[in-house]
């Protein structure tokens, strides 16, 4: 299910690196299940096979390049990879691609919250995936054949409606992410020290949001465990995400509201209560302000699709 897929323009500092949900689509992620798959050609062909440098606020990406060649820009590094190759893009990393025409492969885009749900029992693995990977694969190696077999199976499940589709997708995504983490982080791919600290703060803040968004704590409460002030946290969010720290929290609350409206039979007042709103009327005003529709109208529209 894809909701609000049209680009939404947001104000940002002139010259700032764009923050996209998917490339060319500004604003909050549109996929309620936190997973999006497409071929490399689906999007890059529309942009003359070049994806300009940008970053994702709350999404990670895995590219499996099966045929062709790609020049990868990752933060300040640039590298040419010939197929077969794997590219892991953590949230907030500035990245861009120039593909040779007719390059073939798969792009897996995953919401950080879904990745955390899948791998929360493996915190060291999650930490490892905060670093980018640019990996030239050996075409004859068993691991390469296995990676692309999983990728092909994931694409078929994503496009289909077979039994146990959800668990099958989760299993494939977790397997691909785990395999990506097993490759060594390429030399020179680490963020510069100052930038790295900033991104660590933002990653930890997103973790705080993910764990506590249902009670909507004050920004000051969530900044305290990070060892920074609310002002510093807001400055980091505005610099890297082009929104305030409170807006990051509200985006997560809104996403969960959409999920519960779209996937459950809970009444609006129950959803409001579960997301920390004082009453249903306040929740309705919040939802209307962010979507232009009331919760009931949004649910009715989604249910008719």
Q: What is the pLDDT of residues 116-126, one digit of tens each?
A: 889 988 888 88
CA 26 – CA 6 distance, rounded (Å)? 9
Sheet (strand 85-89) strand order: 35-39, 104-111, 59-67, 85-89, 133-136
Look at residue 264 in the predicted model and tell me its pLDDT. Answer: 86
Look at residue 28 in the predicted model and tell me its pLDDT. Answer: 39
Look at residue 32 in the predicted model and tell me its pLDDT. Answer: 54
Give the mean model confidence (pLDDT) for residues 78-97: 92
Take residue 199 and report the two structure tokens written for it.
Answer: 């991104």
pLDDT tops 80 at residue 159: yes
134 contacts 81 by C-beta, under 8 angstroms: yes
Look at residue 285 in the predicted model and tell me its pLDDT. Answer: 96
Take residue 294 and report the two structure tokens written for it.
Answer: 């009331």
Give the mean model confidence (pLDDT) for residues 153-161: 90
What CATH number was assigned to the domain covering residues 193-303?
1.10.10.60
Look at residue 263 in the predicted model and tell me its pLDDT. Answer: 81
Look at residue 152 in the predicted model and tell me its pLDDT. Answer: 94
pLDDT tops 80 at residue 24: no
Look at residue 183 in the predicted model and tell me its pLDDT. Answer: 86
Look at residue 64 in the predicted model and tell me its pLDDT. Answer: 97
Query: Per residue in 204-243, pLDDT tens?
Result: 888 888 889 999 999 999 999 999 999 999 998 888 888 8
CA 47 – CA 59 distance, rounded (Å)? 21
Q: Where do the structural domains in the chain lie, given as residue ranges?
A: 19-182, 193-303
Rounded mean pLDDT of the chain? 83
pLDDT tops 60 at residue 26: no
Query: Per residue in 33-69, pLDDT tens?
Result: 789 999 999 999 999 999 998 888 889 999 999 999 9
Give the mean model confidence (pLDDT) for residues 278-287: 95
How many other CB atoms sit within 10 Å of the CB of residue 263?
A: 12
Task: Name the nearest CA neighbour of 7 among 35, 26, 32.
Answer: 26
Determine what percent of the chain is predicted with pLDDT higher than 90: 50
Residues 6+ apart with CB under 8 A from 276: 213, 214, 215, 216, 253
Q: Distances from the Cα of 262 to the Cαs of 3, 58, 259, 265, 285, in angstroms?
A: 10, 21, 5, 8, 18
Look at residue 23 in the predicted model and tell me its pLDDT. Answer: 46
Alpha helices in the chain (DSSP H): 40-44, 112-119, 123-128, 142-159, 165-182, 193-212, 219-223, 230-241, 245-263, 268-274, 280-291, 295-303
What CATH number was assigned to the domain covering residues 19-182?
2.60.120.280
172 contacts 157 by C-beta, under 8 angstroms: yes
pTM, full prediction: 0.65
91 contacts 112 by C-beta, under 8 angstroms: yes
């Amino acid at each position: 299910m894809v909701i609000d897929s049209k680009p939404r323009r947001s104000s940002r500092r002139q010259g700032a690196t764009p923050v996209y949900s998917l490339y060319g689509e500004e604003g909050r992620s549109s996929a309620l299940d936190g997973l999006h798959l497409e071929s490399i050609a689906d999007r890059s062909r529309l942009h003359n096979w070049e994806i300009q440098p940008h970053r994702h606020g709350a999404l990670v990406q895995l590219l499996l390049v099966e045929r062709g060649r790609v020049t990868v820009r990752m933060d300040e590094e640039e590298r040419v990879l010939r197929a077969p190759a794997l590219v892991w893009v953590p949230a907030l990393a500035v990245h861009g691609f120039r593909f040779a025409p007719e390059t073939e492969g798969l792009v897996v885009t995953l919401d950080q919250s879904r990745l955390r749900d899948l791998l929360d029992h493996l915190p060291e693995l999650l930490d490892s995936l905060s670093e980018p990977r640019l990996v030239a694969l050996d075409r004859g190696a068993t691991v390469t054949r296995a990676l692309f077999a999983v990728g092909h199976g994931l694409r078929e499940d994503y496009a289909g409606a077979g039994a146990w589709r959800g668990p099958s997708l989760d299993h494939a995504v977790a397997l691909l992410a785990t395999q990506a983490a097993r490759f060594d982080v390429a030399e020179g791919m680490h963020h510069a020290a100052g930038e790295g600290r900033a991104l660590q703060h933002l990653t930890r803040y997103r973790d705080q949001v993910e764990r506590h968004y249902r009670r909507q704590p004050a920004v000051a409460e969530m900044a305290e465990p990070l060892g920074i002030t609310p002002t510093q946290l807001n400055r980091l969010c505005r610099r890297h995400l082009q929104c305030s720290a409170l807006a990051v929290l509200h985006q997560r609350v809104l996403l969960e509201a959409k999920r519960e409206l779209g996937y459950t039979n809970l009444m609006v007042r129950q959803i409001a209560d579960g997301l920390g709103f004082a009453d249903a009327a306040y929740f309705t005003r919040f939802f209307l302000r962010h979507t232009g529709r009331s919760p009931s109208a949004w649910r009715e529209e989604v249910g008719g699709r």
